[in-house]
Amino acid sequence: MLHGWDNFFIMAGTSAATLIGLLFVAITLRADLSTPRGVEATHAFLTPTLVHFGGVLFGCLAVLGPWPSAWPVGIILGLYGLTALIYQFRVILVQRRIVGTLARDIISPDWLDWTLFSVAPVFSSASLIAGAVGLIAGKSFAPYAIAGAITLLLFAGIYGAWDLTLWIARNRDKT
C-alpha cells in the first residue's frame, strides 16, 4: 500500500536525522545554559523538538521496513501516534507552566509559537493514528495521512529548532 512512497520517506527520515545532529551542535555551542531556569526552560522546548525529529525518523524507518503486510506497520504507527499524542498533552502542560510561572521574563511565545509547539504535533499524531487505521483497513487515504503527519511533525520540529536557536542567541545574559 505504501509502494511509490519510498523516496518521500527516505528524504523525510534523512532530513530528521540531519536536523537531530544540527540540534546537538546548536545546543553544544550554548552549553552554559546550566542555571536552573535556563535548563528547565530549555528542556520544556528542546526535548519535544528532539522528540519530533526522532518521531519523524522512527516513522520513516517503520514504513520503509520490508513488512509482509500492512498490519505490522499499521500497528506500530498507530501505537506510536497514540503515545505521541499522550506525550504532547504532557508537553503542553509543562510548557504552559514554564511560560506562566518560571520563566515569563525569558520566554514569551506568541500564537504562532503555540500553534507549532502544541497544535501541529497534536494534529500530526491524530493524522498518524488515522493513517495507521486506514493502512490496516486497506484504505487509499492511509499513505497521505501518514505522509501528512510526518511532514507536519518535521516542520513543527524545524520551527521549534529555529525558535530555540533564536531564543538561545537572544538570551545569553538572561539565564
pLDDT single digits (tens) 47-100: 899 999 999 999 999 999 999 999 999 999 999 999 999 999 999 988 888 777
In a domain, 131, yes or no: yes
Domain around 75: 6-25+35-170
Say how many domains are in the chain. 1
In a domain, 175, yes or no: no
In a domain, 137, yes or no: yes
In a domain, 1, yes or no: no
Lowest mean pLDDT among 18-32, 99-113, 133-147: 99-113
Q: Please tell me the number of Cα atoms within 13 Å of 150 on its side-chain side.
A: 27
Say if residues 81 and 149 touch (Cβ distance below 8 Å).
yes
In a domain, 30, yes or no: no
User: Between 120-137 and 142-170, two packed helices, what is the crossing angle to 10 degrees?
Assistant: 160
